[in-house]
Amino acid sequence: MTRLATFIVDKRNLMFLLIGISLVFSAFSRNWVKVENDLTAYLPATSETRQGLDVMAEQFTTFGSAKLMVANVTYARAQQIADEIAASEGVQGVDFDESTDHYNNVSALYDITFAYPEDDARCLDALDGILARYDAYDTYLSTSLGNQLAEIIDAEVSVIMVIVAIIVVSVLVLTSQTYAEIPVLALTFVSAMVLNMGTNFLLGKISFVSNSVTSILQLALSLDYAVILCNRFKEEHQTLPVREAAIVALSKGIPEIGASSLTTIGGLVAMLFMQFRLGPDMGVCLIKAILYALFSVFVLMPGLLVLFGPLMDKTQHRSFIPKVPFVGKFAYATRRFVPIVFVALVVGAYFVQKDCPYVYGYDTIVTPKLNEQQIAANMIRDNFTSSNLVALVVPAGDYEKERVILDELDEMPEVDHTMGLSNIEALGGYTLTDRLTPRQFAELADVDYELSQLVYSAYATEQGEYGKLVSGVSTYSVPLLDMFLYICDYIDEGLVTLDDETTAKLNDAAEQMRNGKLQLQGEDFSRMLVYLNLPESGDETYAFTDTIVELAKEQYPDGQIFAVGNSTNAYEFKKSFARDNLVVSLMSILIVLVVLLFTFKSVGMPILLILVIEGSIFINFSIPVFTHVDLFFIAYLIVSSIQMGANIDYAIVIASRYTELMHKIEPRDAIIETMNFAFPTILTSGSILASAGFILGQISSEGTIVGIGQSLGRGTVISILLVMFALPQILLVGGRVIEKTSFSMPNAIRRRESRSRMVVDGMVRGEIHGTVTGILHATIDGTAQLELLSGSAEGGESHEA
């Protein structure tokens, strides 16, 4: 470590250059990051909803659409607006009528369908034209077109970052001992943040959640590493020059900080095992962020300490953090009472948090702040009759089976209405899939009967139905949709000639039919739209989606059936949560337990520390039960992992210091000294993490981010309270358990003995006619017994211990 530290410090200008180049590159490459705004993209590939979404993307064309509400308008004017929108360039159609679905409370709601697929930029151009035309009205827009959510979140996160930065600087001013260390810490973190953001493009695509909160959580989770190294440097600089102090501080800090980061990384690793792939996405981003923070601390910060060292000497000030002996005194006085209360509280919280009101859709989530999209959605929901859409995907080719399914669904009270090729009325009272004879088609389309027979004969020939020609084409029936499109193809090719009026009429009908077919029928699958009277999420809704699938399977017992919609998305989230909840909890505990076993060389200590943090998690997610605030499920999975990985560091600080002092001084004095020592560290790290969480929860308008922020802020405060006012008592009464469960491990110290000459270059502890501890660069002539902690010693005898 000494050699590595010396190289980093002495080559600091090279490090500055390389990191500077990387920062410039990252400033550009951060714009290459692709962000996924759809949570359903992270459903397991094997889930039915994910498969259904993939089938729909492949088989069907989904045209761009938007709901536009115009407030304070008469019905007559609303109808005029509907006609104007329908005539606008790029608009395929507008749904508007007198029902409360479209006109209510002196307001109109227009369901606009554009003539282009939803990923076509022309949809946005057409929409912008409509909005510009009616900008004098009170309008509210609800649409999935464009990237509005990303723009809103980016703007909110920018504000959050500024506020968090102000809080961090304020905390550092209060907890630091010299003002000049603040720019060192700031440059170290900002570099880590930019490097992490600039390499996210290597991950291909990240979620909007990871893109939004990673930098904020990186600061909150990893600032301690920079503080630890800075404190080490100031300690060594009391007796050593700036360069040497930086080398010694780094050589000591690398193993110390590396060990500290293991629990945080361990908690985040648990997210990688989630079935809902948003967990692995965020886990990878946060782990990468922690690694870049370590890199910045180990490689950049030593050079900055040397650079700012003289200025740090000139800007020293007293610490503003008071001693807290009353906490240790309280702990000792209540050591027999508090552990009992703690156990009772944790057991109660365990059972209460099972009833936490987790939700799997956004329809019931209330955020402290509303963005434009949410305001529009609320206005539309409050003023108009709304229904919940579920798309039912079945094998294509059998219109009769589709009609049976649609008819049965329409009879159910849970269904408002349905739409499919088999129940869409076309012309003359016929539906698109009604089978028409040549005479019926001729009358409907207003073409000659002989021409109709000719076209039917050609169609039968192409379909290979020669028997129809023999038995007589007059009785041959073909679905209206298929015949309309077939005859229009003949017209387009010039094989059939009609008068202009008839041609225009047929082409207009054919265009509507083609668009309908593109949306509802693919090469292998057909799609039916089921509008429910049920809310988007809830057990009743989930059960009914199963009913829809079962009904379809009666008609297609061997075919693939998919039900897709916001309700089925939420249903899949609920299914994955049942597994992920157990996996994340067990994996986070197991990984952190292994790290703590090697840290404390005791079985009892890790169990006690994990019990405290797990207790804080139980209490954290019990609170929504009493406040009756719905919590988006992913918040629990992410926050519980972060709490276990990061908040346990507060407990480790206290446990490590107490273990060091418990055999040197009386228990009462040991716990008082421990709490005085640990309080500044816990205050610095905890206040920043809690502040970051609360600010995310208050300023963001996105339900997932709000849930993560509120839960993280609340959980961190609970963890701080427990490690400050419950853990000390637990350590006092659990000392015997810790000692009895302790075990020793072989160390890697190499002993060297010499009675002649030994060349030493490294960190040693031993005896040279006395005792020496430190970094020794020397040649020893005489008797020496040394324990080599790092470096090398040539000559003499070697003994492994």
Minimal CA–CA distance to 416: which of 382, 384, 388, 383?
A: 388
**What is the structure's pLDDT at 749?**
47
Q: How confident is the model at residue 748 (pLDDT cuts 50, 70, 90)?
A: very low
Neighbours of 489 (CB within 10 A): 12
**What is the structure's pLDDT at 515?**
79
- Identify the residue whose tokens are 């040539």: 794
Minimal CA–CA distance to 581: which of 634, 647, 648, 631?
A: 634
pLDDT digits (tens, 9 = 90+) for 771-784: 665 666 666 666 66
In this model, does residue 698 exceed pLDDT 60? yes
509 versus 575: the higher-pLDDT residue is: 575
Distance CA 728, CA 331 (A): 6
pLDDT digits (tens, 9 = 90+) for 450-508: 878 888 888 888 877 777 666 678 888 888 888 877 877 766 565 556 566 666 666 67
pLDDT digits (tens, 9 = 90+) for 49-74: 889 989 998 988 888 999 999 999 99
Most confident of 422-431, 710-719, 773-782: 710-719
In this model, does residue 755 exceed pLDDT 80? no
In this model, does residue 754 exceed pLDDT 60? no
**What is the structure's pLDDT at 796?**
56
**What is the structure's pLDDT at 801?**
44
Burial label for 340, CB within 10 Å (0-12, 13-18, 19+), is exposed
Residue 261 DSSP SS3: helix
pLDDT digits (tens, 9 = 90+) for 112-139: 999 888 888 899 999 999 999 998 899 9
Instruction: State CA 677 to chain mean position distance.
Output: 36
The DSSP line for 472-533 is: -GGG--EEHHHHHHHHHHHHHTTSS---HHHHHHHHHHHHHHHHHHHHHB-SSEEEEEEEES
The DSSP line for 65-101 is: EEEEEEES--HHHHHHHHHHHHTSTTEEEEE--SSTT
pTM: 0.81
Query: What is the arithmetic mean of pLDDT over 152-181?
Result: 85
Which residues are CB-neighbours of 92 under 8 A, at least 6 positions away? 63, 113, 114, 115, 515
Query: What is the arithmetic mean of pLDDT over 198-224?
Result: 86
Distance CA 575, CA 358 (A): 12
